[in-house]
Amino acid sequence: MPTPFREEHQHFRQTVRKFAEKELAPYAEEWEKAEIFPNEVFKRAGELGIFGAHYPEEVGGAGGDYWFSVAKSEELPRCLMAGVSMGLLVQADMATPVINDLGTKEQKAEFLTPAIKGEKIAALGVSEPNAGSDVAGIQTWAKKDGDDYIINGAKTYITNGCRADFVTLLVKTTQDQGAHGCSFFLVPTKTKGFSVAKKLKKIGNHSSDTAELAFEDMRVPKRYLLGEENMGFMYLMQNFQSERIIACTSACAGGSYMIDEAISYGRDRKAFGKPIIKREYWQHKFVDLTAKLEAAKALTYKGAEAYNDDKYVRKENVSMDTVKTISLAKIFVGDVMTEIADQCLQFHGGAGYVEEYHIARAWRDQRLFRIGGGTTETMRYYVAKLMGL
């Protein structure tokens, strides 16, 4: 397919690349060990226009199309910390798109514009201790009380949750309506009744903070209801498409870096008298991995192109055909990235199992991809429904 990137996209790409390589990557070991990165990173990304390139100018963005976000997600992995990439992508492409789509002028001014500038940190609150990919099973409950809603419940696996200034929160507003009884709220974390129950310790993505949140008689004014009441599940399904396609583009970029690093290692590492990359078995293995990566990227770009056409050209909701393509991309990319990470680690031998080499971190970090944003099994179930099976 022809390249979707124009000159302005490439200039933006260079900005993100320089930011990732020069301002983030040198701190990889420090921030991984600390299990968090500084809040100032959000502010700096906002100053560089990294969050807002694909948002309208009237809310503080640059008015670009979706390919700016694709370029951003392809360059951020150069920071060598999936946790940092994820924290920044949650800010730009997961917690805020629904505000741009549905928010009132006042809501955008209070939440979206400061998030684009990096002045407020955003989190997306959907998953719960007893409801992950099965979003319809959430139990956090908002009860109407005059001009307010009183919210009780808990969320878990929330990226940026320990330090967010606000949460784009999905809750039940009508108990007996299943998925069709959910609503979105914008919740400042200084609201009485909100608390960070605990910071979760993860096997990967160490540099990002992931939290369990609690809401106890948290009173939220009606003006923080995002969109229409009981339409939250439909909004979420639309919002998920941006999250999934951006995750795919970021993962493909990470896969490319893993292959490049492995081949470089294989040129220097000798076994039985010659560099291990000169072994025919491994040459063929990397050819196959590269072919699968190119196929994964092509399917991802097909999904990105469809999303861009729906949201930025036609300015409509994402079509079911687009949803199907993005879901297929998430399935395929997840399987391919797991194979790339595992084979690249194997190629490193014992060196791949020690923290000195980046592949060890990349191997454990990529494992989240087939879980977050809808498990691979859920994606297959959903696509099967779209196929009428």
Q: How confident is the model at residue 156 (pLDDT cuts 50, 70, 90)?
A: very high
Do 178 and 96 share a structural domain? no
Q: Note the pLDDT of residue 2.
A: 60
Across 124-138, 298-312, 351-365, least confident range = 124-138
Task: Give the dihedral sign, CA 328/251/74/48.
Answer: positive
User: Is 74 considered catalytic here?
Assistant: no
Euclidean distance between CA atoms 219 and 193, whole angstroms:
7
The answer to whether residue 241 is domain-embedded is yes
Predicted confidence at residue 383, as pLDDT, reads 97
Residue 163 sits in the same domain as residue 217: yes
Q: Are residues 13 and 76 in the same domain?
A: yes
Whichever domain contains 101, its CATH number is: 1.10.540.10
Does 198 have pLDDT greater than 90? yes
Number of domains in the chain: 3
Say if residue 249 is in the same domain as residue 267: yes
2 in a domain, yes or no? no
What pLDDT is stored for residue 130 in this prediction? 85
- 3 has pLDDT over 80: no
Q: For residue 246, what are the CA distances in angstroms to 146, 149, 297? A: 39, 33, 12
Could you say which of 186, 205, 226 is where a domain stops? 226
Condensed to tens digits (0 to 9), the pLDDT of residues 259-294 reads 999 999 999 999 999 999 999 999 999 999 999 999
Q: What is the 3-state secondary structure (H, E, C) of the chain?
A: CCCCCCHHHHHHHHHHHHHHHHHHHHHHHHHHHHCCCCCHHHHHHHHCCCCCCCCCHHHCCCCCCCHHHHHHHHHHHHHCCHHHHHHHHHHHHCCCHHHHHHCCHHHHHHHHHHHHCCCCCEEEECCECCECCCHHHCCCEEEEECCEEEEEEEEEEEECCCCCCEEEEEEECCHHHHHHHEEEEEEECCCCCEEEEEECCCCCCCCCCEEEEEEEEEEEEHHHEECCCCCHHHHHHHHHHHHHHHHHHHHHHHHHHHHHHHHHHHHHCEECCEEHHHCHHHHHHHHHHHHHHHHHHHHHHHHHHHHHHHHHHCCCCCCHHHHHHHHHHHHHHHHHHHHHHHHHHHHHHHHHHCCCCHHHHHHHHHHHHHCCCCCHHHHHHHHHHHCCC
**pLDDT given for residue 131 in this prediction:** 78
Residue 303 lies in a domain: yes
215 φ, ψ to 5°?
-130, 120
Distances (CA, A) of 38 to 45, 87, 250, 258, 367: 12, 11, 21, 26, 24
Residues 172 and 315 in one domain: no
State the pLDDT confidence band at 137, using cuts at 50, 70 and 90.
confident
Tell me, yes or no, whether 134 and 239 share the same domain. Answer: no
Q: Quote the pLDDT of residue 356.
A: 87
Q: Which of 128, 243, 261, 305 is catalytic?
A: 243
pLDDT digits (tens, 9 = 90+) for 204-262: 999 999 999 999 999 999 999 999 999 999 999 999 999 999 999 999 999 999 999 99
The parent domain of residue 146 ranges over 123-226
Residue-wise pLDDT tens digits, 299-329: 999 999 999 999 999 999 999 999 999 999 9
> Among candidates 304, 363, 362, which has minimal Cα distance to 329?
304
- For residues 214 and 240, membership in a common domain is answered with no
Say what the pLDDT of residue 180 is. Answer: 82
Residue 57 lies in a domain: yes
pLDDT per residue over 44-72, tens digit each? 999 999 999 999 999 999 999 999 999 99
- pLDDT per position as a tens digit, 69-116: 999 999 999 999 999 999 999 999 999 999 999 999 999 999 999 999
pLDDT-derived band of residue 176, with 50, 70 and 90 as boundaries?
confident
d(CA 16, CA 44): 11
Structure pTM? Answer: 0.94
Whether 128 and 222 share a structural domain: yes
Q: Which CATH number belongs to the domain containing residue 362 in this structure?
A: 1.20.140.10
Domain containing residue 211: CATH number: 2.40.110.10
Domain boundary among 226, 245, 264: 226
Within a domain: 14: yes
Q: Is residue 9 predicted with pLDDT exceeding 80?
A: yes
For the CA atoms of 236, 239, 240, 241, what is the dihedral angle to 10 degrees?
140
Same domain, 12 and 109: yes
Q: Are residues 255 and 213 located together in one domain of the fold? A: no
- Do residues 236 and 379 share a domain? yes
**Which of these three, 177, 192, 226, is where a domain ends?**
226
Q: Stretch 140-157: mean pLDDT, rounded?
A: 96
- 1 within domain boundaries: no
Amino acid found at 160: N
Q: How many CB atoms lie within 10 A of CB 62?
A: 16
Residues 269 and 364 in one domain: yes
